[in-house]
Amino acid sequence: MKTLVFALGLLWAAVPAFSAPEVGKPAPDFTVKDATGQDRSLADFKGKTVVLEWFDDVCPFTQKHYRSGTMQRLQKAAVDDGVVWLTVNSSGVNKAGYLTPAEAVAKMKELGMNSTALLLDVDGKVGHLYEARTTPEMYVIDGRGVLVYKGAIDNRPTPDPASLADATPYVKNALAAVKEGKSVTPAETKSYGCAVKY
């Protein structure tokens, strides 16, 4: 029995412990291919503000932001301001929202995406690393590589586009605060949307 307990203890110790990224701490680095087959690493964008946006176009919550053009306008304003915007699709093969590279390129054109790249996180490594649970779920990382915001894109957890009229734009506000050298408030909110289809 003691041998079994000892062996189990060694097994437990050998399993790496991953914890959710914390606001105020360095954001976990990753490398993943984008829709064009190019490797994209967070470390490549050192010194720049980075937005991570979890995406699944079959999700009505995601559709609310894209069909209204809200997401594309936010992406364009951010990218024009020097922000790196990485849209992340963590849908697994044969899961809802999964995109092949060719489909992903076509989807970017169809939706008029203005993000820097669409990352295809097919094995879910990046999603699990960030503990992304919904689409859309948003993360803002400042030029020091520190996570300064994580959570919802706004305060209207509904797929109804009419809700956008008086929504509080958490991500837009976070980017403005980072640009002005101010603390992001709130720095963390509860994300909403469809479950990420790992």
- The predicted-structure confidence for 114-159, as pLDDT tens digits, reads as follows 999 999 999 999 999 999 999 999 999 999 999 999 999 999 999 9
CB 145 within 8 A of CB 27: yes
Is the model's pLDDT at 189 over the cut of 90?
yes
Which pLDDT score is estimated for 20? 76
Give 74's pLDDT tier (boundaries 50, 70, 90).
Answer: very high
Query: How far, CA to CA in Å, does 185 sit from each of 27, 125, 151, 198?
Result: 18, 29, 12, 30
pTM over 0.85: yes
Q: Token pair of 178, please?
A: 């980072």
pLDDT tens digits, one per residue of 18-46: 467 999 999 999 999 999 999 999 999 99
CB 116 within 8 A of CB 85: yes
Is the model's pLDDT at 2 over the cut of 70?
no
CB 125 within 8 A of CB 86: no
Question: What homologous superfamily does CATH list for 26-195?
Answer: Glutaredoxin (3.40.30.10)
